[in-house]
Structure 1
Amino acid sequence: MSKIAIVTGSTRPGRVNTGVAEWVLAQAQLRGDAEYQLVDIADFNLPVLDEAYPAGFQNYQNDHTKVWAATMNEFDGYIFITGEYNHSVQPALANAISYLNVEFNNKAAGMVGYGSAFGVRAMEHLRGILSELQVAHVQKTGMFSLFTDFENFSTFTPTELQAASLAPMLDQLIPWTNAMKSVRESALATA
């Protein structure tokens, strides 16, 4: 069974990101089609990128990077949870992703966004980052509004309409994740 990380996108005090991630985890686990696990980037205490070598070299000098790399390498696919910040992906998520390269190669990802415009702009920026890392990102996304899917802009309480946006993304992510396993095997065989 494929192993999918649900990756938080924020480390800020009072963040709403974890509420979204926990809801996504609960919904995904009901499906029984993969092993889903929450990965909170705040647990890794990653400073602003502080590695001397480009991530593609995998010559990690810092313990926090080594732990982050080992964790992300365990997964076959990812669901990135990102709020929209300045019309882009949340800074902590962009920083965390930038630490790594090879660990993401030839894997699949889905996205869940939220914000005043459903996180759409953040997810579009995230697509560019993931493409550079050779991550096959699915077309469907989970989309939520700060105005209608959060009580008092803090407690995640998705409407039925927006909650329904998650299933199509998962329906695409699982077969893509399974297919990318053969791509990784093929890449290893030719290396």
Structure 2
Amino acid sequence: MTTIAVITGSVRPGRAGSAVARWIAEKVNEVDGVDARVLELADFDLPVFAEEVPPMMAPAKDPAAVAWNKALAGFDAYIFVTPEYNHSVPGALKNAIDFITPSVLANRAIGLVGYSYSAGHRPIEHLRAILVNFTTGVVGPQVNLHLATDFAGGVFAPAAFHDGEVAALVKALVAQDGALAALR
């Protein structure tokens, strides 16, 4: 069984990412041998990163960061769901990543889902660059949602072709997890 955390990348009240993450988790859970659960970043109430040393030298001490790392450690793979803020990832998501102890994500499969008026391409590319630091297996298939077409009247209603993107993402995550499991 491959366990996957679907992580919302925004903490704003009324964030669209919660609906996207729930939809992704529902689609992922349709695949045999996979179990996905949504982790709402806002639930961890992480402060601004201000640890004495970076997590690559010592685990974070802040209680919220400890809880965040503990929650992440229970999964085989991760899907980050990110909006685009100023052509990049939200500050809250980058801050949360800064708290992660590298061994938590090491040799784990990671998938990316983005949404924006540019279909989330820019924040996804930034996440790829950020997550390489953790020795992760970020998969190639991704899901790109467009605010103008997949959020009709502000309500999340993804186009049907995205189902195939999610299926490709899950297939790649499961394969990557299988390949990396021996390294953990």
TM-score range, shorter chain: over 0.9
Q: SS at the partner of 2:161?
A: helix
The yes-or-no answer on 1:67 pairing with 2:67 is yes
Once residues 109 and 142 of structure 2 are traced to their aligned partners in structure 1, the CA distance between those partners, rounded to angstroms, is 13
User: Aligned letter for 1:8?
Assistant: T
Amino acid at match of 2:81: I
Deviation track 1:62-119 (CA, whole Å, cap 9, x = no partner) reads: 1111111111111111000011111111221111111012211111100111111110
1:147 pairs with 2:148: yes
Q: Which residue of 2 aligns with 1:123?
A: 124
Q: Determine the C-alpha separation between the residues in 1 that align with 2:46 and 2:59.
A: 16
* Matched-pair contact (CA < 8 Å) for 1:58–1:102: no
Q: Kindly state the Cα deviation for residue 26 of structure 1 after the two structures are TM-superposed.
A: 0.7
Deviation at 1:129, TM superposition (A): 0.7
Residue type of the alignment partner of 2:179: A
Cα drift, residue 179 of structure 1: 1.5
> How far off is 1:180 after superposition?
1.1
Is contact 2:27–2:163 with CA below 8 Å preserved after alignment?
Answer: no
RMSD: 1.1
User: Matched residues, percent identical?
Assistant: 35
SS of residue matched to 2:50: coil
SS in 2 for 1:142: strand
TM-score (norm 2): 0.95
Q: How far is the alpha carbon of 1:32 from its aligned partner?
A: 2.1
Q: In structure 1, list runs of 5 or more residues that go unmatched.
A: 185-191
Unaligned runs of 5+ in 2: none
The residue number in structure 2 matching 1:188 is none
- TM-score, structure 1 length as denominator? 0.92
Number of residue pairs the alignment of both structures matches: 183
Q: Which residue of 2 aligns with 1:159?
A: 159
**Residues 60 and 99, structure 2, Cα contact 8 Å, conserved in 1:** no
SS in structure 1 at match of 2:127: helix
Q: Which runs of 4+ in 1 moved over 2 A?
A: 57-60, 161-164
Tell me the equivalent position of 1:133.
134
CA distance in structure 2 between the aligned counterparts of 1:61 and 1:164, rounded to whole angstroms: 41
| CA apart distance, 1:57 | 2.4
What is the CA-CA distance between 1:146 and the residue it aligns to?
Answer: 0.2
